[in-house]
Structure 1
Amino acid sequence: MRVAFGSVPKDGGTFTFYRNLRLALRAHGVDLRCVSVGRDEARLWEDGYADAGCTLLAPRAIGLKAQARAFADWCEAEEIDIVMGINSGGILSSFPHLPARIRVMARCANAFDQGYRVTMAGRDRLARIVALSPRLRDDLVRDYGADPGILRLIPNGIDPARFDAAAAQPRGQGARLELGFLGRLEHGQKGVLHLPAIVDALLARGVDFRLRIAGKGRHGDQLRRALAGAEAAGQVEFVGALGPDDIPDFLAQTDVFVFTSRFEGMPNALLEAMMAGAVPVCFNIAGITDFMIQEGRTGHLVAQEDAAGFADAVAGLAADRTRLATLHKAVALDARARFSNAIAAASYAALFTEIMAEAPPHWVPKPWADFVPDANFPQTWRRFVPPGVKEWVKGRRFAYQ
């Protein structure tokens, strides 16, 4: 069975899904392909992340019709059975033109309006929708008209073997509590500008700690300025972006994983920390972090934007190292029982088999003369603006918020 998954080889959650499940799905007879289409995705492509299952189509194409045709032709040539378009405008725009024998699925990975709208793109063709967490599933039904009958809850899966050595590492052995943040240094989603208030609250409580911050992003410079004093005093350290091979060692040296996101879908960084036995302290995102973390048993959940409450949870772990050690073991075991890539791969393979066992839908592909771009990707003059300029504009906009 051949499944095309719209993504780009780079550092990000969407490609991490592909990387985590490709080999695990092979054991079930599923060939998962990562497909990138068009100029913008070609510019995001990073050779260091690509593997033999990654394909780049129409790398110079700007228009969605050219991208969609290139993808449809590739699907025919490769005899693709199932397509998951994700957030690729070219792939999603191809749906009305694909033959009925190619089944179409959606995977909802983030709890925000545009993510939900993209999930519902081509809803007439959707055989199934996968939601990563209860929050995503419920929002899709209640607010976006998704058919509950085709929705399936399949959480992300992480390979536990990558983190076995980290999970075996005892936690809380030193006088200083080691805190770690791993993720994009961006505030809109990741909430990184709450870190200075959390650091101040920890200092006010007299906690002996070091916070290592791994990642890069548009608010990195602003965050570093806000934490300059703590960095100079040795309580904060910026370690830069980490490659996949560096993450287990980083988490092995982390007693408490600091998670400040304001919205997510099923965050891989948090899953990796859990697999590694780093005890998570998280802002609560209803239906997401409280689905992943069991309060008081596998970590701690704190109300959004409550820096004082966050510091209280961390201070409690600093003071009670026996409880920290208990949570360390519990979270690593719980992650393996619920969120391994083997469990996720088995769930997806069963779903693919279920879909292909059904009769093809009664569907007549539209001719290319009737092509209309997917409504979530309007073709405006902005597509001619270089990506660097777009990022500069975004940075300026957020700087004044």
Structure 2
Amino acid sequence: MVAMSEHPQKPVRVAFGSVPKDSGTFTFYRNIRPALAARGISLYCVTVGKPQAELWEDAYVDDGCVQLAATSLNMKRQAQVFTKWCTDNDIDCVMAINSEGILSAIPHLPTHMRVLSRCANAFDHGYRITMSCRERLARIVALTPRLRDDLVADYGADPAKVALIPNGLDAARFEAAAQTRRGTGTQLELGFLGRLEHNQKGVMYLPAIADALSARGIPFRLRIVGKGVDRARLEEAMASHQAEGRVEFMGALTPDEIPQFLGETDVYLFTSHFEGCPNALLEAMMAGCVPVCGLIDGITDFLIETGRTGFIEKLGDAEGFAGTIAALHKDRAKLAELSQATAAEARARYTDEVAADAYAGVIRDLMSEPAPDWTPRPWRAFKPDPNFPGYWRHRIPAGLKAILRKFR
């Protein structure tokens, strides 16, 4: 841990657009905030507007969480309140992330405030909001090579401004799990952790993998953690395996319960169609699970070295997944060796300390540069950020909105 005294520079105050709840964005904030504080950078989780306020969960709140304009649906009002809060609190740098109110405020921020964006997911909307008000962006953080390359090739990002920084985790949370020797039971313990929906997470590939393992006579138990719109459909497809005790649905777990679950898991299944830098996969690796993943170019093949820290199969190839798992069942010594290598690699590449060093370097660099040649847009010229599907609603006069609500 780096001591504050090692940083004689002026402390830097960063506003980070997020909501305290169970989400990847807030998990990033929660994980990296203490490490950044040790490096002289104060990170604040800023929630703006009524739609975000309704997602606020008190159980996740810490002393860096701030809620602004909590009853407002007016985007200009949200942007103005946020801008005033930044001015009143001497904010140096803004990371809007996916906050519509903060993104709408960026053109109006004072010139001395730097703007840093962070691309966390490989889909069009995520790329577009990453590049919102691109003329104000001092730096862009991409979590994986896929995100970096897409931003440059398809969304006009300046390669010189893009920094590649994977997510980081608190290694201490998973220390006990990583010390557990894998593959000691008669049956293999398989695990899945994530939102139970197929569009992104690919959960409907799991029944075919279970079928293929069963057909090969591989003794296994697959425990599925999470909740989501496709749970009922997934349970129906897994009915026979549930009846035989091969599949168990565990529901959602709290963050404190996840390390124990992963410590009891030999092989972690990852079936997503698209991701950014998936925390669940990094947690599994940190805990010493051996991941078997579908290929997502520039993401899973960046995070995992196949054959050394896990395996990568063609997404949707149930026989490929089953064949790899069957080989691990047969060679338990190899499974244990891979578990140790995976945990060690995660501690070398994906800790919050490594990520904090990288973010602190980027933030200190951009703060050392001259303020951008930028004139803040006047509030009379306010426009909501155009990269949100419902941005048009802010242009409807209040009277017409009232009439439309009556008809609705």
TM-score by length of 2: 0.93
Residue 363 of structure 1: how far off its partner (Å)? 1.0
Counterpart of 2:57? 46
Q: Equivalent of 1:206, from 208, 212, 217?
A: 217
What residue in structure 1 maps to residue 77 of structure 2? 66
Structure 1 letter corresponding to 2:278: P
Match of 2:305, SS state, is: coil
Q: Which residue of 2 aligns with 1:278?
A: 289
Match of 1:345 in 2: 356
Contact 2:75 2:394 survives alignment (8 Å): no
Residue 23 of structure 2 is aligned to residue 12 of structure 1: yes
Runs of at least 5 residues in structure 1 that lack an aligned partner in the other structure: 385-401
Do structure 1's residue 176 and structure 2's residue 209 form an aligned pair? no
Q: What secondary structure, in the 3-state scheme, does the structure 1 residue paired with 2:221 have?
A: strand
Q: Taking structure 1 as reference, are residues 373 and 383 closer, same or farther at Cα in structure 2, changes over 3 Å only?
A: closer
Instruction: Give the match for residue 387 of structure 1.
Output: none
| Equivalent position to 2:203, from 192, 205, 211 | 192
Structure 2 vs 1, CA of residues 383 and 313 (structure 1 numbering), >3 Å: closer, same or farther?
farther
Cα offset, 1:125, TM superposition: 0.3
Contact 1:258-1:280 within 8 A present in 2 as well: yes
Question: In 2, distance between residues paired with 1:192 and 1:65?
Answer: 40
- Whole-angstrom CA distance in 2 between matches of 1:153 and 1:49: 28
Structural mapping, 1:205-354, within 5 Å: 205-354=216-365
Question: Is the Cα contact below 8 Å between 2:384 and 2:394 reproduced in 1?
Answer: no
The CA distance in 1 between the partners of 2:229 and 2:78, in whole Å, is 29
Structure 1 vs Structure 2: percent identity of aligned residues? 60
Gap regions ≥5 residues in structure 2? 1-11, 397-408
SS of 1:244's equivalent? Answer: coil
**Aligned equivalents of 1:382 and 1:240: distance in 2?**
38
Q: What's the counterpart of residue 119 of structure 2?
A: 108
* Shift in CA distance, 294/119, structure 1 to aligned 2, threshold 3 Å: same
Q: Is 1:134–2:159 an aligned residue pair?
A: no
Deviation at 1:367, TM superposition (A): 1.1
Q: Write the distance in 1 (CA, Å) between the matches of 2:168 and 2:143.
A: 10
In the alignment, is the contact (CA less than 8 A) between 2:21 and 2:56 conserved in 1?
yes
- 8 A Cα contact 1:181 1:211, kept in partner: yes
Per-residue CA deviation, residues 180-210 of structure 1 (Å, 9 max, x unaligned), is 0001111111001111111111111111000
Q: Distance in 2 between matches of 1:175 and 1:43?
A: 47
> C-alpha displacement at 1:379, in angstroms?
2.8
Residue 249 and residue 383 in structure 1: after superposition, are their counterparts in 2 closer, same or farther (change >3 A)?
farther
How far, CA to CA, are the matches of 2:26 and 2:225 in structure 1?
Answer: 19
Q: Deviations over 1:253-287 (max 9, x none)?
A: 00000111111010000000000000000001111
Q: By how many angstroms is 1:295 displaced? A: 0.4
Counterpart for residue 393 of structure 1 = none
- Give how far 1:380 is off: 4.1
CA contact (8 A) 1:62 1:383 kept: no
SS of the residue 2:181 aligns to:
coil
User: What letter is aligned with 1:219?
Assistant: D
Runs of 4+ in 1 over 3 A off after TM superposition: 380-384
Change (3 A) 1:243 1:383: farther
Q: Does 1:57 align with 2:64?
A: no
CA contact (8 A) 1:63 1:379 kept: no
Residues in 2 aligned to 1:114 and 1:96: alpha-carbon distance in whole angstroms: 19
* Structure 2 residue aligned with 1:35: 46
- Give the aligned partner of residue 379 of structure 1: 391
Matched, 1:166 2:177: yes
Counterpart CA distance in 1 for 2:294 and 2:272 is 7
| 1:307 shift after superposition | 1.1
What is the root-mean-square deviation of aligned Cα atoms in Å?
1.2
8 Å CA contact retained: 1:108, 1:132: yes
Normalising to structure 1: TM-score of the pair?
0.94
